[in-house]
């Protein structure tokens, strides 16, 4: 990448997965915290009896289907404005970019089971806390290689937990805590002590590196595993745009007791084997299609729902002809066997890095007088699909529409893409040069001129040698932040981004001449393909985006009707500029998701102005906000503590690894009523 020379330049930099922006400004300090928290594990605690389901938070999305809904009501619309900080825990795990080491982020969503909070740090340490005080009970350090080339930076989004019903309460590893690490290991520790479960794999660990084309760092893990019956299931995060033949994006199920591999499923091999069997031209080449986001589960149906990302390389598909199934999809796998039950592809032959980054969400809708179990799946295109949970067939109609075709030699874009008729798109799909924005006439004219030179035919315009306007850009629409669903109101809440980007393919000979790389942005090698890649978000000299504000929105949808109920700008980008700050409209990009509660509230952070906010779920009115010690690029959670009957709201606040020179942090912050 070519660095900017101006110290005040803001740059949104695409990156692996969906944490894809970069902010530049001076930051003042970085607190050095004690290393004592890095001990392997400390004192033990005997688990208390499990809470009632509504009191705890046993899955990343609260329930196995990922609704992110809590039935707690102590904190509600009438009193939320009184929330105060109850306690703060510091992990001590912070890293700026030094040498090979990546910046850290703190994106965990803790679990609460057995009256204990379990979370992960930026360095993959598992920590157990007292949920009433934030005091550490124990910590386990898997000692990952902190200098790995992890595309998303040093992050982890949490753990999974499993209760071994065959083991007595007072026996080791009755409660197991699972984590998948950046350096590709699956770890199991005892929920009571943090000691490794020695009967799992080899001394409590299973290597996840046994995949074709494995490369250290390029193949890593950022999301928590999924639990279905007695299996622990993992996907992977695979770095973008390095080369054609990247690691295979396999999903694998391991026995929760022994760590033995039970099954594996690869989203792409059918295309590869079909091409070879027919003998028509060279063997199909690609990798990835990986499940790097959150998976969800329907235990009753024995179904695991997996969102998949793009095939490699992201922006040139001439060596992977066809639809590339099952990349860019949501698929249902049989839990016991890993067999594909059904799949629905959201993007055919992806050329835009439009991953299915948003986790699937399982809900029941009341349609035509009947209760219908569904899977709700969004992606970076800003389109939201509602599918029958048993069959994968759309509940609301989806039509294949013609889309622009590629003018790049060797590329054959899909002639159509699937568009749901409802809900409507949650992000703009077109932007003309005349619609470009700037805080001053000079900045607006700069944006208009820049966009006028790009190929620009709306969403799904293929990348080009000329340079293509990507609308939306590659942090959405909807990204890994995901959705939350209130089952009592049938309201779905999601945050979206509105930033446009440029994608330009550079012929290999020119790309290899590094002296020609004069424009600030990201360059992707795409080795093995005839083109390298240049991409960046489009900003004027003011440092603000060229797309019109608001640049971030919070939506609520009536899912029985498939209609938008309300929409409000979320947060502010005002701090990105100094000279024009007073005239910047509301709306910030956000990377961190919402939750909803029976108290009539939506809680969400994720914005670059570093607030945690509460909204009225009925109207979208902002009712409360609190400044965090660093930006909260994570999904919050809530629980009620037995004994005190107090409800807590918890968020990880540590900044973002791709927003460079922003103040980083290591704070887990809990709020409660006075």
Distance (Å, rounded) from C-alpha 430 to C-alpha 461? 10
Task: Print burial letters for 35-51: b (CB count within 10 Å at least 16), e (below 16).
Answer: eebeeebeeebebeeeb
Is 141 one of the catalytic residues? no
Residue in 159, 252, 236 with CA at minimum distance from that of residue 201: 252
Specify burial of residue 28 (Cβ count, 10 A radius: 0-12, 13-18, 19+): exposed
Strand ranges across the sheet with 491-497: 483-486, 491-497, 552-558, 563-569
**Torsion angle of alpha carbons 106, 112, 115, 118, nearest 10°?**
-40
Greatest alpha-carbon pair distance for the chain in Å reads: 71
Q: Are β-strands 160-163 and 136-140 bridged in parallel, bridged antiparallel, or unpaired?
A: unpaired
Structure tokens belonging to residue 97: 């970019």
Distance (Å, rounded) from C-alpha 625 to C-alpha 606? 12
Structure tokens belonging to residue 449: 């001129």
Structure tokens belonging to residue 153: 């930076």
Write out the DSSP string of 27-43.
--------GGGGSS---
Specify burial of residue 395 (Cβ count, 10 A radius: 0-12, 13-18, 19+): buried
Cα dihedral across residues 634, 64, 426, 451: positive or negative: positive
Angle at 546 between CA 635 and CA 23, to 5 degrees: 45
- State the catalytic residue, choosing from 353, 355, 486, 609: 353
Angle at 211 between CA 208 and CA 217, to 5 degrees: 65
- φ, ψ dihedrals at 511, nearest 5°: -60, -40
Distance (Å, rounded) from C-alpha 279 to C-alpha 639? 58
Check if the beta carbon of residue 295 is closer than 8 Å to that of residue 305.
yes
Residue in 266, 259, 282, 139 with CA at minimum distance from that of residue 208: 259
Check if the beta carbon of residue 311 is closer than 8 Å to that of residue 324.
yes
Distance (Å, rounded) from C-alpha 371 to C-alpha 55? 26
User: Residue 81 in 3-state DSSP?
Assistant: helix
Contacts of 392 (CB under 8 A, 6+ apart): 330, 332, 341, 342, 343, 344, 375
Structure tokens belonging to residue 23: 């902010």
User: Residue 557 in 3-state DSSP?
Assistant: strand
Write out the DSSP string of 595-618.
EEETTTEEEE--BTT-EEEEEETT
Check if the beta carbon of residue 485 is closer than 8 Å to that of residue 617.
no
Query: What is the chain's percent helix, strand, coil content, to nearest 5?
Result: 5, 35, 60
Q: Tell me the β-bridge partners of 138.
A: 128
Which are the catalytic amino acids? 353
């Amino acid at each position: 990448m070519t660095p900017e020379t101006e110290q005040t330049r803001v740059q949104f930099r695409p990156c692996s997965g969906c944490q894809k922006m970069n902010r530049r400004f001076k930051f003042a300090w970085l607190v050095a915290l004690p290393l004592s928290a890095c001990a392997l594990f400390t004192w033990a605690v005997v688990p208390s009896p499990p809470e009632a389901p509504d009191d705890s938070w046993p899955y990343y999305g609260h329930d196995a289907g990922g609704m992110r809904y809590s039935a707690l009501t102590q904190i509600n619309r009438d009193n939320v404005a009184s929330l105060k900080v109850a306690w703060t825990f510091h992990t001590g795990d912070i890293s700026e970019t030094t040498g090979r080491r990546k910046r850290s982020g703190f994106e965990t969503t803790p679990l609460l089971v057995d009256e204990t909070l379990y979370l992960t740090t930026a360095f993959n340490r598992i920590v157990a806390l007292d949920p009433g005080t934030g005091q550490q009970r124990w910590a386990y350090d898997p000692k990952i290689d902190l200098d790995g080339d992890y595309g998303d930076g040093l992050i982890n989004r949490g753990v999974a937990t499993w209760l071994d019903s065959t083991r007595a309460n007072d026996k080791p590893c009755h409660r197991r805590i699972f984590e998948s690490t950046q350096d590709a290991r699956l770890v199991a520790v005892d929920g009571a002590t943090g000691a490794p479960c020695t009967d799992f794999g080899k001394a409590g660990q299973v290597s996840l590196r046994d995949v074709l084309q494995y490369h250290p760092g390029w193949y890593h893990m950022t999301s928590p595993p999924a639990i279905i019956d007695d299996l622990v299931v993992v996907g992977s995060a695979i770095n973008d745009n390095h080369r054609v033949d990247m690691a295979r994006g396999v999903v694998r199920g391991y026995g929760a007791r022994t760590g033995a591999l039970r099954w594996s499923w690869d989203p792409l091999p059918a295309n590869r084997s079909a091409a070879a069997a027919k003998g028509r031209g060279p063997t199909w080449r690609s990798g990835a299609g990986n499940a790097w986001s959150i998976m969800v589960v329907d235990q009753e149906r024995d179904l695991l729902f997996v969102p998949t990302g793009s095939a490699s390389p992201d922006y040139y598909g001439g060596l992977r002809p066809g639809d590339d199934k099952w990349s860019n999809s949501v698929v249902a796998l049989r839990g016991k066997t890993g067999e594909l039950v059904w799949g629905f592809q959201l993007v055919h032959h992806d050329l835009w890095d439009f991953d299915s980054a948003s986790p699937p969400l399982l809900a029941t809708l009341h349609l035509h007088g009947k209760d219908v179990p569904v899977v709700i799946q969004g992606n970076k295109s800003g389109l939201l699909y509602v599918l029958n949970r048993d069959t994968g067939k759309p509940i609301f109609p989806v039509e294949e529409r013609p889309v622009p075709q590629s003018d790049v030699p060797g590329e054959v874009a899909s002639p159509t893409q699937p568009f749901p008729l409802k809900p409507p798109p949650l992000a703009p799909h077109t932007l003309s040069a005349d619609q470009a924005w700037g805080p001053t006439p000079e900045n607006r004219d700069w944006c208009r001129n820049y966009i006028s030179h790009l190929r620009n035919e709306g969403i799904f315009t293929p990348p080009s040698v000329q340079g293509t306007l990507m609308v939306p850009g590659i942090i959405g629409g909807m990204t890994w932040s995901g959705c939350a669903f209130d089952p009592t109101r049938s309201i779905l809440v999601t945050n979206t981004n509105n930033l446009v980007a440029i994608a330009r393919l550079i012929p290999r000979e020119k790309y290899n001449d590094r002296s020609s790389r004069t424009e600030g942005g990201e360059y992707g090698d795409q080795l093995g393909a005839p083109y390298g890649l240049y991409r960046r978000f489009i900003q004027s000299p003011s440092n603000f985006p060229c797309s019109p504000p608001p640049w971030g929105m919070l939506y609520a949808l009536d899912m029985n009707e498939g209609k938008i109920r309300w929409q409000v700008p979320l947060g502010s980008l005002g701090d990105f500029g100094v000279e024009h700050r007073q005239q910047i409209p509301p709306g910030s990009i956000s990377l961190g998701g919402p939750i909803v509660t029976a108290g009539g509230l939506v809680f969400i952070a994720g914005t670059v102005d570093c607030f945690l906010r509460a909204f009225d779920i009925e109207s979208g009115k902002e009712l409360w906000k609190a400044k965090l010690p660093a930006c909260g690029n994570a999904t919050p959670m809530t629980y009620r503590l037995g004994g005190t009957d107090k409800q807590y709201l918890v968020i990880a606040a540590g900044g973002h690894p791709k927003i460079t020179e922003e103040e980083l942090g290591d704070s887990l912050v809990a709020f409660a009523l006075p």
